[in-house]
Homo-oligomer: A and B are copies of this chain.
């Protein structure tokens, strides 16, 4: 199997393999979330379950061609939408969760709810970002730029578990360059470092990025409000790839 090295290859891979996942979208009241979903619907790798905002979305021209792949669930407000979207995941009626116009904290409250949430006991919720950097020859994944501020030893082991190598492991070996190490994954020492890395590669190295939360019953796309529709679209592609 060939390694997928950038977002175009990832999307081509999803198409070739007819991958299609059901995405529960929480309160898509902004502009960019439906725009990203329209792109993913056009590429064919998602079915969308919009939780809330039905009236507005039905008037959205960009979504009209994909009506067959869209369904709606009523919700009275963003928090209600979060609870209902999480319930869809819990009942295996959705494969991916996506944040619309809701604070990440509020969405996480629904995800982490001990009775109705979707975090299996003992799991660690981490944020992973996938970056395509023009000057690097393949995807690079880094964690954690968003959720765990100061990972403890156990949390970091959890982060490293699935990874081939890490920045810290390299440093311990006296290596300092991820390029020399041909790294796939960088485990950041803390959230500040993760955030600075994200800003440095997007602002100065022309990187495109996608981000998702891992550790819950399904991957969750939790873009920040400032992310472009393109970045949200890429995040959907990565989440679709990561979903079971």
- Residues of A participating in the B interface, judged by any CB pair closer than 8 Å: 133, 135-136, 176-179, 188-190, 192-197, 199-201, 203-207, 226
Residue among B188, B194, B201 making CB contact with A204, cutoff 8 Å: B201
The residues of B that contact A179 with a CB separation of less than 8 Å are: 203
Which residue from chain B places its CB closest to the CB of A188 in the assembled complex?
B196
A178 touches B203 (CB 8 A): yes
Q: How far is the CB of A196 from chain B (nearest CB, A)?
A: 4
Residue among B136, B178, B226 making CB contact with A176, cutoff 8 Å: B226
Number of this chain's copies in the complex:
2
B199 touches A201 (CB 8 A): no
Q: How far is the CB of A148 from chain B (nearest CB, A)?
A: 14
A136 touches B188 (CB 8 A): no
Q: How far is the CB of A140 from chain B (nearest CB, A)?
A: 9
The residues of B that contact A177 with a CB separation of less than 8 Å are: 199, 203
Most buried by B among A133, A193, A201, A204: A204
Most buried by B among A136, A176, A189, A196: A196
Give CA–CA (A168, B201) in the complex, Å: 18
